[in-house]
Amino acid sequence: MQLKKSIRAVLAALITALLGAAGLVLAPGAHAVPAADALGNPNLDTKGSITVHKYKNPAWDKPNNGREITDVPAAAEALEGVEFIL
């Protein structure tokens, strides 16, 4: 009796996994990553909930002897072009 329950549970798990995989194959738009724009920025949300722009020399690419950015102007420069809409 216990063996039948175990076999049923395994079969149910396999069927669920197969249906989930089929759903991912048949509906790729539901989980696909949108294409990048001309600068290589991912288009995370077409409604504009977050926009991240690349710059020639962003603050986070500048060497800082392994230290974090602690001054306000550098922190502001690092966040330049990042738009958060809540």
State the DSSP string of 22-61: HHHHH-GGGTPPPPB-TTS-B---TT-SEE----SS-GGG
Specify the pLDDT at position 12. 92
Question: First CA to last CA across the chain, in angstroms?
Answer: 55
pLDDT above 70 covers a percentage of the chain that reads 30
d(CA 17, CA 11): 10
Residue-number span of the structural domain to which 5 is assigned: 1-32
Percent helix, strand and coil across the chain, each to the nearest 5: 45, 5, 50
One domain, residues 46 and 73: yes
Shared domain check, 26 and 1: yes
- Residue 60 confidence (pLDDT): 54
* Domain co-membership, 8 together with 43: no
Which parts of the chain sit beneath pLDDT 50? 56
One domain for residues 11 and 41: no
pLDDT at 24: 72
